[in-house]
């Protein structure tokens, strides 16, 4: 990577990290605002990639359904409204999802069920993981939520540099020829070391939970990145967008979180949400 590109990547990544952590420690509403913005952009990018394969997803309906899922999860996890209004938020995504099927009758596009499938896949694949952050945040606290993202970034960063320095054996060349087993193992070791360091920094988060977060992330994040690479390769695109110079789009930036967050959510509900 050229020096200018590396510098751009570092500056863009630093701004992203500061925004994420700053919103986390400011208040839940600020974090939710950042998350819902990132979710809408990532869903828009996902539908844009799908469109390049000839599919015609219902962008507006998908985005509305995604925002409804996020609002339902946020209102339910933090209990911001009384029970009657929380129920309204909780049930709202259901008629919106059903509407997608009816709306396709009037669009007269080719491959109608493929269009429906991609529309709802955007909600499941992108919106749902973003929405689950509210439950993880509320159940574990700001330091644990912060730790999740730091561990995710540590895995991504050190897997990249270990692969760059020592990569010899390709991990999944058919999907992403640059990823290597050396980078994958380096990411795992780095994440476990980071979990120990975060425990020293955040005494209120048990080491076993941080290590569990690290194990989930290190085992799934690279595979989640490969899943997004598979999606982009099928559409013949390099990046999902251009909003982050040096990184691509927000779907590129959050790809590892999309399939690790649901598993972390399950772990939190089983072992930390007492």
What pLDDT score was predicted for residue 18?
93
What three-state secondary structure class fits 248?
strand
What pLDDT score was predicted for residue 61?
96
Give phi and psi for 200, each to the nearest 5.
Answer: -65, -35
What pLDDT score was predicted for residue 143?
96
What pLDDT score was predicted for residue 182?
87
What pLDDT score was predicted for residue 88?
67
Cα 15 from chain centre: 18
Number of neighbouring beta carbons within 10 Å of residue 236: 9
What pLDDT score was predicted for residue 270?
94
Q: What is the pTM of this model?
A: 0.92
Please give the structure tokens belonging to residue 31: 């974090």
Residues 6+ apart with CB under 8 A from 144: 136, 202, 205, 209, 210, 213, 272
What pLDDT score was predicted for residue 54?
93
Q: How far apart (Å, rounded) are the C-alpha atoms in residues 43 and 53?
A: 16
What pLDDT score was predicted for residue 266?
96
What pLDDT score was predicted for residue 173?
81
What pLDDT score was predicted for residue 127?
97
pLDDT along the chain (274 residues), means of 10: 67 87 93 95 97 96 95 79 62 90 93 96 97 93 95 90 83 81 90 96 93 94 91 91 84 93 95 79
Cα 97 from chain centre: 21
CA-CA distances (angstroms) from residue 156 to 37, 82, 103, 219?
Answer: 22, 40, 40, 12
Give the length of the chain. Answer: 274
């Amino acid at each position: 990577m050229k020096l200018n590109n590396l510098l751009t990547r570092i500056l863009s990544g630093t701004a992203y990290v500061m925004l994420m952590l700053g919103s986390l420690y400011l208040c839940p509403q600020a974090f939710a605002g950042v998350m819902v913005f990132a979710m809408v952009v990532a869903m828009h990018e996902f539908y844009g990639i799908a469109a390049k394969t000839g599919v015609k997803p219902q962008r507006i309906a998908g985005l509305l359904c995604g925002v409804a899922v996020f609002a339902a999860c946020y209102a339910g996890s933090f209990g911001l409204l009384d029970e009657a209004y929380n129920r309204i938020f909780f049930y709202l995504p259901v008629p919106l999802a059903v509407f997608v099927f009816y709306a396709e009758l009037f669009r007269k596009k080719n491959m109608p069920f493929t269009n429906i499938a991609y529309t709802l896949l955007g909600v499941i694949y992108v919106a749902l993981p973003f929405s689950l952050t509210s439950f993880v945040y509320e159940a574990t606290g700001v330091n644990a939520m912060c730790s999740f993202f730091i561990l995710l970034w540590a895995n991504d960063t050190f897997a990249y540099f270990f692969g760059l320095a020592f990569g010899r054996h390709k991990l999944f060349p058919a999907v992403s020829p640059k990823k290597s087993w050396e980078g994958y193992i380096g990411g795992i070791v780095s994440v476990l070391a980071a979990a120990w360091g975060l425990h020293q920094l955040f005494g209120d988060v048990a080491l076993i939970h941080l290590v569990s977060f690290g194990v989930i992330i290190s085992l799934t994040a690279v595979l989640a990145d490969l899943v997004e690479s598979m999606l982009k390769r099928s559409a013949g695109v390099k990046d999902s967008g251009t909003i982050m110079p040096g990184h691509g789009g927000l779907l590129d930036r959050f790809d590892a979180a999309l399939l690790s967050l649901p598993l972390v959510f399950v772990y939190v509900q089983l072992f930390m949400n007492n």
